[in-house]
Each structure stands twice: as C-alpha cells, then as structure tokens.
Amino acid sequence: MEGQGYPSKPRLLHWYDQNARPLPWRKNPEPWPVLLSEFILQQTRMEVGIEYWKRMIKRFPTVHDMSISSLEEVMLLWQGCGYYARARNLYKLSTVIASRDPPIIPSDPKELEKLPGIGPYTSAAISSISFGIPVAVVDGNVKRVYSRLNAIENPTPPEVQKWANVCLEEKRPGDWNQAIMELGATVCTARAPKCGECPISSTCKAKLTENPTKYPAPKRRKSKKINGHALVISSPEGVVLSQRDGPQLGGLWGVPITEDPNGLQELCSDYKIGSPERVGEIHHAFSHRDFHIQVWKIDVLKGGISSASVPISRLDQRILEAAGCVEI
C-alpha cells in the first residue's frame, strides 16, 4: 500500500513492553482466559470488564467447567454486563468444545470462526495472542490509529484490514496486535489523543493537522424511540416475572412489558388485573433502541417469585427499583 504511513515496529513494541496495562489474562495468555476476556470486552468497558472476567474465571477456570454448568448460571454471573447474546454464545461455545475429541479451543482462525459468537476480530485476537499465529486484528482502536496515521476520515473495513496485514510484526503477532490496540485505548484515544506521549507520532499525518480527533469521522447512530409500559405485579411471595426471548434479552427474566404506547390495557387484561398505579418512568438506552417506559404497579395477594433468584437485565432492575421491589 504505497504512500501509506505505518507505525515503527521497534518503537511501538518497545513502548508496549514498557507500558502495557497489567491485565489479568496477560500474565498467562492461555486460550480460555483470553477468549473469555475477548467476549466480555466486545461491548464492555475495561474497568467493568475486568471484574466480570475475574468473576467468570473464578467460577469457570476451564472451558470444561462452563460446559458442565447451566445457561442459567452463566446468565446469573453475566447479569449487569449487558449484551446477553455474548453470554448465551459463550455457554454454547463451551458445550461445542466439550463435545469434541480432543475438547480443546482450536488455534486456526478459520476454525475459531465456526464457533458461536466468534467473528474475524475475536478469532484473530485468540489465534495471535494465545497461539502466536501471525494474523492481524482490526477493531475500533486499530481503525482509529490507521485513520490518524494517514489522515483518512472515512476508511473502509477492507482498507484497514489490508493496512493491518501489511504492518503486522510476524515474530510477535500477539504483542503487536495488542500494542496497536493498547495505543488506541490509552494514548490515541477517541476524544483526547496524547500526541506528546505517542511513540509513533513521527509518522502521523493527523498530528500535523489542527484537530486529530476528526479522524476517523464519527458515525451517526440512529436510535429508535420506544414508548411503552411495564407492569410490576407484586405480592408477599415476589413479583411476576417470566423468561424473555429475542436476541437482546433472551434467557433473562423480566416483568410484563409492552412496546405499544396504547397497550397498557391489553397488558393488564393479559394478566387479569384491574387498575395499576403509575409509580414512575424510566429511560433506558440499548445500542439502537431508546426505551421510555411508564412503570405501573399493582399489589396482589399471592404469586410471583423472588427477583434475586433469576438473572434479570439492567432494564428490569431499574423497573423494579422504580416500583420499590428490588431484592438483593
């Protein structure tokens, strides 16, 4: 790729050797701890993700340990981490691996991609970090470093992948991939790049401009607004909860909800209750859906279960908080 800027390999690797954050899975980058970290960090911030990783690795030190547990237990441990499809895929992946002979995580990126929840980024990360296979990762951090080194506002995914393939350090592929991502996460950050501390600033075109943060150009996120209702039916035994399905919250438990702004009456008649009291309103944003939920509550004599006994989403926790029905 002629005319493009590439990071200096010795400089970036030296910087990484001196500055890499002491993340717990880096001490011994075996496939299972690394895979677990990659699943968790796909959509969770590092500080929060480390706590979830510790919790999961303590309960499931091996992929086999997870495979002989249950989806419900995995979901309970994942509770609050969001994007629950990751937890469902992780459990499924553990059972797929356990059913094989030998029951081990493959090193080949193409084989890894056949497993639930693993795409090109995750497969390249596991292959390079745990097995030393020379394959380049591309994530948001790599894209940002590429865009800024070359002052390109709207890079295409194949363009970034091609660049990452060319600059890969084949002798230390895992460290190299982590070095670029680490640079993007800690120095070349989205909003406040620290160009004065950057080990590759001598080849950076964005640094020469007035505003490096305009690379890459921000994507506009379109969110759908949902105006709905949630019904908290509470008794001395607990609250009425049922298991949800669907890609976002499937496998978790929650209170009756309607996404129809005029659907409260129908919801009440489905559950054969009279007139609930309005106890609050919550706003809760998922990646593409903004929920504006009116929370209604009614007390009944019996029925329901303890909300602490099943995995529930943050959305339902907030609904129960609004209704004063949270159990720890």
Q: Work out how close the CB of 285 gets to ligand SF4 at its nearest, in angstroms, rounded to a whole number.
A: 29
Which tokens is 84 given?
């629950």
Residue closer to ligand SF4 (CB basis): 149 or 323 = 149
Q: Which amino acid is at 194?
A: K
CA distance 4 to 6: 7
Write the binding mask 96 to 135 for ligand SF4: x where contact by CB under 6 A, - elsewhere.
----------------------------------------
Among residues 31, 106, 109, 212, the one that binds ligand SF4 under rule CB under 6 A: 212
Helix (H, G, I), strand (E, B) or coil at 7: coil
Among residues 67, 128, 150, 201, the one that binds ligand SF4 under rule CB under 6 A: 201
CB neighbour list of residue 207: distance below 8 Å, 6 or more residues apart = 148, 195, 198, 201
Please give the span between the terminal C-alpha atoms of the chain, in angstroms, as a whole number. 56
Which tokens is 284 given?
């809760």
Q: Work out how close the CB of 242 gets to ligand SF4 at its nearest, in angstroms, rounded to a whole number.
A: 49
Does 204 contact ligand SF4 by CB under 6 A? Answer: yes
Cβ atoms of residues 231 and 276 within 8 Å = yes
Contacts 24+ apart (CB under 8 A), 192-200: 193/148, 199/7, 199/8, 199/11, 199/12, 199/14, 199/15, 200/7, 200/8, 200/11, 200/12, 200/149
Residue closer to ligand SF4 (CB basis): 109 or 216 = 216
Residue closer to ligand SF4 (CB basis): 86 or 207 = 207
Binding segment for ligand SF4 among 18-26, 77-85, 206-214, 320-328 (CB under 6 A)? 206-214
Binding segment for ligand SF4 among 111-119, 188-196, 218-226, 313-321 (CB under 6 A)? 188-196
Among residues 124, 152, 206, 231, the one that binds ligand SF4 under rule CB under 6 A: 206
The region, left, alpha or beta by phi > 0 then psi within -120 to 50, assigned to residue 98 is: alpha
Residues 305-324 that bind ligand SF4 (CB under 6 A): none
Cβ atoms of residues 33 and 57 within 8 Å = yes
Does 232 contact ligand SF4 by CB under 6 A? Answer: no
Q: In whole angstroms, how far apart are CA 198 and each of 139, 149, 202? A: 19, 11, 9
Q: Binders of ligand SF4: how many residues, by CB under 6 A?
A: 15
CB atoms within 10 A of CB 70: 10
Write the binding mask 147 to 166 for ligand SF4: x where contact by CB under 6 A, - elsewhere.
-xx-----------------
Does 143 contact ligand SF4 by CB under 6 A? Answer: no
Catalytic residue among 2, 30, 38, 237, which?
38
Among residues 200, 239, 252, 268, the one that binds ligand SF4 under rule CB under 6 A: 200
Q: Which amino acid is at 44?
A: T
Our answer to whether residue 113 is catalytic in this structure is no
Which among 297, 314, 169 is positioned nearest to 233, based on CA atoms?
297
Binding segment for ligand SF4 among 47-55, 201-209, 248-256, 298-306 (CB under 6 A)? 201-209
Catalytic residue positions, numbered: 38
Residues that bind ligand SF4 (CB under 6 A): 145, 148-149, 187-188, 193-195, 198, 200-201, 204, 206-207, 212
